[in-house]
């Protein structure tokens, strides 16, 4: 154009507006498929009350669209865990001493407090890559590969899925399979089932806190998911998923113990370490769980859009052969706030029954059960989450959001697992936690 | 419209789809009847027949003329709805005849918005002059049809009149519409674009050219010289908020010849250009 300083674009927009009226849209959203990456980055902080577990994580998910619905996604997460975690032993009127997982030192829990193992810290790196593309008409297939690594745990996973659209894409059915192969390499070795926590061996000796069943163990997990989603009218979508999960191998938590208690008082049985040796002041046996677990779940979700406000309601039922049945109810309501923001309150309630082998403690002198664990996560448990998320879209089409949530978990030991006077003294490691997340979505 | 017209509705109900299709078809045929230069009873034909005397136009035509005048001024005379007369010398039939300088010189006095008197609602052409809305009529129809469709439903709609198209938004599942653009290498190899809202227009019909001096010359003519624009791209596709804007950008960019890319990039216009 001869004269460069004229703003043709503005003049054209004004002229087109005069021609078409003010109702004309003001922006175009056209793109070449495969132009660039869609990136989601997030920083998450999770902190439990009373100095327990803290987790800080950064993650990035990058999706590249190669056109014709062929997509590559790459996902990376790095997190660091610190803080203390319940070791499974019960609180006592006396201070209690335990040998740390490394077997080289001891830690002491004051009287009346639930014993926490403060050597709990870890760094985890996880990487996932997956590819999806259409397959024949109405089908799409995807496949992925994942890997994660921690000090004491390694995971390798493979997954594949197929999706089919019916009924002019108003109905979608999907089926996917994932297989995980994990290796557990506990600090201090794999304790033998119900081995007693041993004395500390000092810094120079080979760590061996207990009778050992080797230095590492495997775990295999097969997950199958069949899903179905249906568009119901103009403003709602219903989704139903059935999931089946089969875990086998080493499913025990190598750091968790059970307290051996007096069958009459229900108080920990005391023990004195040999002279000059540091060691546990009670009898604590490493837990032992079954080596297989089959879980089935049914999930239904309804999304309803009422003039810009989106309500999402979900219910999940899950049952497994450990005896844990759970119900989850969850709701989110997203409504617009301001020109380009939204607010999304979130409520979630979870309840479960205890695993059949959950024990608050073990009675001294009684025969050992086949399996037992005092992990509160296997007890009767209720949890709820309340939270809110605020998201904002920038004029460039990027989006940032902040999420704040409060979580509270209360567990209950089933009455029949309590021994002697324990019904009057039972104390569960309940806690609350705060979750804070910032995320930013942008295009590259 | 002289090209296939389609409307895609991502509707949950059949009667919605039918209502949208009806509204779009009505809009397309109304604009066609009113503004096509190929129809004797169109307002464009009546204006051209009345050349030499003032002609009173209706409000809608007046808005189109205002638009044309505005863009003519902004483009320093490149965008000109009176340049169609030059077609009398050039035949875009794939032939080889190049008009002589004398033939073009003879026609140039009949070209140029500056020779037209436009005083709403009266339009006066010089005798022998003609106007047509070929450069924006189809795009204008797309925008009107989309607005008509949006009055019928909140469901996502895409209107496509011969490759000029606009959509109300992404499809209901959030996916963008996939749009094929005819490629220079042949009509069977379209490349695709994704449209999640707004409009796309393509200029540079691959079937209309003359072969002169062994070179294919596309049909874009510089209204100031009567010559086809040199080094014009084979095809230009532009994304804009409305199809009218996208189509106007295409026309203006095509007239820049070798500078088409620079011209569009300077204003930050999203574009895809195909060259030989």
| Residue spans per domain, chain A | 8-443
- pTM value is 0.63
Going by C-alpha positions, the residue among B174, B177, B187 that lies closest to residue B146 is: B177
The confidence score (pLDDT) of residue A55 equals 94
- When CB atoms are compared, the residue of B67, B140, B193 closest to A31 is B193
The domain of B241 spans 5-274
- When CB atoms are compared, the residue of A20, A67, A233 closest to B143 is A20
Answer with the residue of higher pLDDT: A183 or B258. Answer: A183
- When CB atoms are compared, the residue of B173, B197, B248 closest to A28 is B197
CA distances (Å), A59 to each of A39, A344, A421, B271, in order?
10, 22, 48, 34
Q: How far is A354 from chain B (nearest CA, A)?
A: 40
Rounded to an integer, the average pLDDT of B113-118 is: 93
B12·A231 Cβ contact <8 A: yes
A11·B66 Cβ contact <8 A: no
* Pairing mode, strands A362-363 and A257-261: parallel
- CATH number of the domain that B56 lies in? 3.10.520.10
The confidence score (pLDDT) of residue A407 equals 97
The confidence score (pLDDT) of residue B175 equals 80
A29·B170 Cβ contact <8 A: yes
Rounded distance between C-alpha atoms, residue B190 and residue B193, angstroms: 10
The confidence score (pLDDT) of residue B218 equals 56
Above 0.90 for ipTM, yes or no?
no
Answer with the residue of higher pLDDT: A381 or B105. Answer: A381
Three-state secondary-structure class, residue A430:
coil
A20·B263 Cβ contact <8 A: no
The confidence score (pLDDT) of residue A3 equals 44
pLDDT tens for each residue of B212-223: 555 655 556 788
* Mean pLDDT taken over chain B: 84
The confidence score (pLDDT) of residue B96 equals 62
Rounded distance between C-alpha atoms, residue B175 and residue B193, angstroms: 12
Suggest the residue from A16, A67, A232, A393 to mutate for an interface test with chain B (most B CBs closer than 10 A): A16
Cβ contacts of B53-58, under 8 Å, gap ≥ 24: B53/B124, B54/B117, B54/B122, B54/B123, B54/B124, B55/B122, B55/B123, B55/B124, B55/B125, B56/B121, B56/B122, B56/B123, B57/B121, B57/B122, B57/B123, B58/B121
Q: How many domains does chain B have?
A: 1
The confidence score (pLDDT) of residue A217 equals 93
A30 and chain B in contact, CB less than 8 A:
yes
Is the pLDDT confidence value at B181 over 90?
no
Confidence of residue B76 (pLDDT cuts 50, 70, 90): confident
The confidence score (pLDDT) of residue B151 equals 87
Which residues of chain A have a CB within 8 Å of the CB of B249?
Answer: 12
Q: How far is B1 from chain A (nearest CA, A)?
A: 19
The confidence score (pLDDT) of residue A209 equals 44
B12·A19 Cβ contact <8 A: no
The confidence score (pLDDT) of residue A23 equals 52
The confidence score (pLDDT) of residue A34 equals 55
Whether the CB-CB separation of A255 and A247 falls below 8 Å is answered with no
CA distances (Å), B50 to each of A38, B43, B53, B122, in order?
57, 10, 6, 12
- When CB atoms are compared, the residue of B178, B198, B245 closest to A12 is B245
Which residues of chain B have a CB within 8 Å of the CB of A27?
Answer: 197-198, 241
The confidence score (pLDDT) of residue B207 equals 44
- CATH code, A8-443: 2.40.160.40
The confidence score (pLDDT) of residue B2 equals 63
pLDDT tens for each residue of B123-144: 999 999 999 998 789 999 999 9
Is the pLDDT confidence value at B241 over 50?
yes
A16·B241 Cβ contact <8 A: yes
The confidence score (pLDDT) of residue A2 equals 43
Which residues of chain A have a CB within 8 Å of the CB of B143?
Answer: 20, 24
Q: How far is B139 from chain A (nearest CA, A)?
A: 11
| Percent share of chain B, pLDDT over 90 | 38
The confidence score (pLDDT) of residue B136 equals 87
A28·B241 Cβ contact <8 A: yes
User: If you measure CA to CA, which chain A residue comes closest to B170?
Assistant: A29
The confidence score (pLDDT) of residue B25 equals 92
pLDDT along chain A (444 residues), means of 10: 58 82 63 74 94 93 80 94 93 92 90 88 93 83 95 95 83 94 92 92 53 80 95 85 96 95 94 89 96 97 85 96 97 88 95 97 95 96 97 81 97 95 93 96 84
């Amino acid at each position: 154009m001869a004269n460069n300083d004229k703003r043709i674009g503005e003049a054209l927009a004004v002229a087109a507006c005069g021609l078409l009226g003010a109702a004309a849209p003001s922006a175009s959203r056209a793109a070449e498929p495969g132009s660039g990456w869609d990136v989601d980055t997030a920083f998450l902080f999770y902190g439990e009350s009373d100095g327990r577990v803290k987790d800080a994580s950064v993650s990035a998910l990058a999706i590249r669209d190669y056109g014709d619905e062929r997509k590559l996604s790459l996902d990376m997460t790095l997190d660091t865990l610190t803080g203390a975690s319940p070791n499974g032993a019960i609180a006592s009127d006396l201070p209690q001493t335990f040998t740390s997982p490394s077997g080289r030192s001891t830690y002491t829990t004051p009287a009346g407090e639930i014993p926490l193992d403060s050597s709990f810290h870890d760094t985890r790196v996880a990487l996932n890559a997956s590819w999806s593309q259409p397959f024949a008409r109405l089908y799409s297939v995807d496949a992925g590969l994942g890997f994660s690594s921690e000090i004491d745990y390694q995971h390798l996973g493979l997954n594949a899925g197929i999706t089919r659209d019916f009924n002019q894409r108003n109905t979608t059915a999907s089926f996917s399979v994932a297989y995980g192969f994990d290796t557990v390499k506990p600090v201090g070795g794999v304790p033998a089932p119900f081995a007693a926590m041993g004395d500390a061996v000092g810094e120079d000796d080979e760590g061996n806190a207990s009778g050992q069943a080797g230095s590492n163990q495997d775990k295999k997990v097969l997950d199958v998911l069949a899903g179905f989603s249906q568009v119901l009218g103009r403003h709602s979508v219903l989704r139903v998923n059935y999931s089946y999960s089969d875990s086998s191998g080493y499913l025990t938590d190598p750091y968790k113990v059970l307290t051996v208690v007096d069958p009459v008082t229900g108080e920990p049985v005391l023990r004195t370490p040999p002279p000059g040796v540091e060691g546990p002041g009670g009898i604590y046996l490493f837990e032992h769980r079954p080596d297989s677990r089959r879980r089935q779940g049914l999930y239904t979700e309804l999304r309803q859009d009422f003039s810009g406000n989106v309500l999402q309601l979900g219910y999940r039922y899950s049952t497994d052969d450990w005896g844990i049945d759970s119900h989850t109810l969850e709701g989110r309501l997203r409504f617009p706030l301001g020109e380009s923001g939204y607010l999304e309150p979130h409520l979630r309630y979870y309840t479960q029954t205890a695993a059949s082998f959950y024990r608050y403690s073990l009675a001294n002198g009684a025969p050992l059960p086949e399996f037992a664990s005092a992990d509160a996560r296997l007890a009767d448990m209720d949890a709820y989450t309340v939270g809110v998320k605020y998201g904002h879209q920038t004029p460039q089409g990027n989006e940032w959001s902040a999420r704040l949530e409060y979580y509270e978990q209360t567990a209950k030991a089933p009455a029949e697992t309590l021994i002697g006077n324990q019904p009057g003294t039972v104390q569960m490691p309940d806690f609350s936690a705060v979750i804070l997340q910032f995320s930013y979505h942008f295009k590259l | 419209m002289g090209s296939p017209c389609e409307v895609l509705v991502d509707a949950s109900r059949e009667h919605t789809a039918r209502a949208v299709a009806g509204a779009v078809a009505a809009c397309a045929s109304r604009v066609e009847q009113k503004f096509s230069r190929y129809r004797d009873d169109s307002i464009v034909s009546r204006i051209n027949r009345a050349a030499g005397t003032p002609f009173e136009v209706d409000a809608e035509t007046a808005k189109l003329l205002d638009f044309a005048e505005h863009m003519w001024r902004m483009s320093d005379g490149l965008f000109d709805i009176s340049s169609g007369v030059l077609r009398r010398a050039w035949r875009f039939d794939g032939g080889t005849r190049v008009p002589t300088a004398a033939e073009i010189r003879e026609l140039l006095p009949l070209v140029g918005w500056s020779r037209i008197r436009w005083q709403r609602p009266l339009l006066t052409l010089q005798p022998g002059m003609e106007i047509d809305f070929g450069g924006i009529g189809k795009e204008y129809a797309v925008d009107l049809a989309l607005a008509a469709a949006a009055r019928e439903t909140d469901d996502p709609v895409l209107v496509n009149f011969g490759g000029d198209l606009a959509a109300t938004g992404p499809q209901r599942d959030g996916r963008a519409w996939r749009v094929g653009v005819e490629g220079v290498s042949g009509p069977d190899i379209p490349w695709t674009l994704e449209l999640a809202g707004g409009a796309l227009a393509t200029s540079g019909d691959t079937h209309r050219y003359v072969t002169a001096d062994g070179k294919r010359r596309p049909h874009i003519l510089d209204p100031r010289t009567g010559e086809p624009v040199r080094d014009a791209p084979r095809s230009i596709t532009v994304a804009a908020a409305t199809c009218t804007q996208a189509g106007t950008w295409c026309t203006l960019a095509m007239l820049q010849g070798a500078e088409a890319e620079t011209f569009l990039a300077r204003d930050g216009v999203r574009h895809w250009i195909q060259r030989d």
